[in-house]
Amino acid sequence: MNIKHHPVTQTSTVIELYSEKDGVDINYVCTSELPNGKIGDIFYRSTPHPEFGNKYFAIFFHGDNAMISGADFVENFTFGVVQNDIGEYEYSQSRHDYKSFKNGNMIDGGREYIRSSGNRTIMIVRNGQFTHTVFRDNDA
- At 140, is the pLDDT very low, low, confident or very high (cuts 50, 70, 90)? very low
**What's the pLDDT tens digit per position in 27-46?**
999 999 999 999 999 999 99
| Ramachandran bin of 104, using left for φ above 0, alpha for ψ from -120 to 50, beta for the remaining angles | left
DSSP 80-114: EEEE-TTS-EEE--STT--EE-TTS-EEE-TTT--
- The pTM (predicted TM-score) of the whole model is 0.92
Query: Is residue 55's pLDDT more than 70?
Result: yes
Query: Is residue 132's pLDDT more than 80?
Result: no
**What's the pLDDT tens digit per position in 101-128?**
999 999 999 999 999 998 899 999 999 9
For the ranges 70-74, 102-106, 129-133, which has the lowest average pLDDT?
129-133
Query: Is residue 138's pLDDT more than 80?
Result: no
Average pLDDT, rounded, for the chain = 93
Rg of the chain over Cα atoms, rounded to whole angstroms, equals 15
Please list, in sequence order, all residues whose beta carbon lies within 8 angstroms of the beta carbon of residue 87, skipping any fewer than 6 positions away: 2
Percent of the chain with pLDDT over 90: 89
